[in-house]
């Protein structure tokens, strides 16, 4: 076992190591780690060193550059996956009204482009069912994320019961099953919701997205904050051909796309449509 260094760190960690981490996560995921995130980067990447048995950051970062499986684990380690059911709830009230207004015989397509552990796409599915009743069977949700680990959690649809604490008793009863035995303390999402969603890994930074538009609704919330303005703009430009004149793009409440005013117009609080 390694002896912790004077600073209490198990591994030697230089500013060069940190700058290399910043470079790699920017290149591969678009994530712009500020200089203040050195401690966070150390803690998260050090876990990978322990798992892989590698004893120096220098060697580990070399592996990240040459082995795609470890690169995936490195990206997974550095993403921030904070999310919740009905996060920024007024968006779902607006979405429900929107879905009622567009409902027709065709399939309604929703893309949740940074779906994390699944709370957001399941909230989209609940909103659609509540808004459209039996017509919700026409709603298809694509849920994507770069982080392959959170996608597994999302697909499993099993959550600690406290994650749904704030939901109304009606929603809890309608959409969740209480776990028993070794699942005591957990709830699982009912198949009615799961059946509406397809989970897929997708890196927003990639040149080609393996998805089929157009989408009536795109959720891209609380992920752009990790990207610089140029990266945001190049992603937003790729959303536009996947939208119609009526489509809505939802961003997180702390995000704004003023720098994309020539391609997107504001339709509500952090809600956008394509400029005509």
Ligand X SMILES: C[S@@+](CC[C@H](N)C(=O)[O-])C[C@H]1O[C@@H](n2cnc3c(N)ncnc32)[C@H](O)[C@@H]1O
Scanning 8-16, 26-34, 98-106, 265-273 for contacts with ligand X by CB under 6 A, the matching segment is 26-34
Among residues 17, 70, 120, 216, which is the contact residue for ligand X, using CB under 6 A? Answer: 120
Among residues 42, 73, 83, 243, which is the contact residue for ligand X, using CB under 6 A? Answer: 83
Whether the Cβ atoms of residue 215 and residue 247 lie closer than 8 Å to each other: yes
Among residues 13, 21, 24, 29, which is the contact residue for ligand X, using CB under 6 A? Answer: 29
User: Active site includes 100?
Assistant: no
Q: Between the CA of residue 142 and those of 121, 198, 232, what are the distances in Å?
A: 8, 5, 21
- Cα separation of 228 and 29, whole Å? 12
User: Binding string to ligand X for residues 179 to 218, with x set by CB under 6 A, is what?
Assistant: ------------------------xxx-------------
Q: 17, 22, 145, 221: which one is catalytic?
A: 145
Q: Does residue 153 bind ligand X (CB under 6 A)? A: no
- Residue 236 CB, shortest distance to ligand X, in Å, is 14
Q: Does residue 30 bind ligand X (CB under 6 A)? A: yes
Q: Does residue 271 bind ligand X (CB under 6 A)? A: no
Q: Does residue 164 bind ligand X (CB under 6 A)? A: no
Q: 9, 44, 174, 190: which one is catalytic?
A: 44
Among residues 136, 222, 247, 270, which is the contact residue for ligand X, using CB under 6 A? Answer: 222
Catalogue the active-site residues: 44, 145
Residues near ligand X (CB under 6 A) are: 29-31, 79-83, 87, 114, 116, 120, 145-147, 150, 203-205, 221-223, 226, 252
């Amino acid at each position: 076992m390694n002896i912790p260094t004077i600073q209490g760190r198990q591994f030697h960690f230089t500013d060069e190591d940190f700058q290399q981490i910043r470079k790699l996560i920017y290149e591969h995921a678009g994530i712009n780690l500020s200089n203040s995130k050195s401690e966070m980067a150390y803690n998260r990447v050090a876990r990978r060193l322990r798992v892989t048995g590698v004893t120096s950051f220098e060697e580990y970062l070399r592996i990240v550059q040459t082995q795609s499986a470890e690169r995936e684990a490195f990206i997974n380690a550095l993403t921030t996956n904070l999310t919740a059911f009905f996060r920024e709830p007024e968006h779902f009230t607006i979405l429900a009204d929107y879905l009622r207004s567009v409902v027709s015989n065709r399939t309604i397509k929703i893309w949740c482009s940074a779906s994390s552990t699944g709370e957001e796409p399941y909230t989209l599915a609940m909103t659609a069912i509540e808004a459209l009743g039996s017509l919700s069977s026409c709603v298809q949700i694509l849920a994507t994320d770069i982080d392959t680990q959170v996608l597994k959690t999302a697909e499993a649809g099993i959550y600690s019961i406290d994650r749904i604490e704030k939901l109304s008793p009606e929603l809890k009863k309608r959409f969740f099953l209480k776990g028993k035995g070794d699942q005591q303390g957990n709830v699982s999402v009912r198949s009615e919701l799961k059946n509406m969603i397809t989970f897929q890994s997708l890196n927003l930074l990639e040149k080609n997205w393996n998805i089929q538009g157009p989408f009536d609704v795109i959720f891209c919330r609380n992920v752009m904050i990790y990207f610089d303005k140029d990266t945001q703009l190049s992603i937003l430009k790729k959303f536009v051909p996947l939208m119609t004149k009526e489509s809505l793009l939802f961003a997180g409440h702390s995000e704004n796309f003023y720098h994309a005013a020539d391609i997107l117009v504001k339709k509500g609080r952090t809600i956008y449509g394509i400029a005509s």
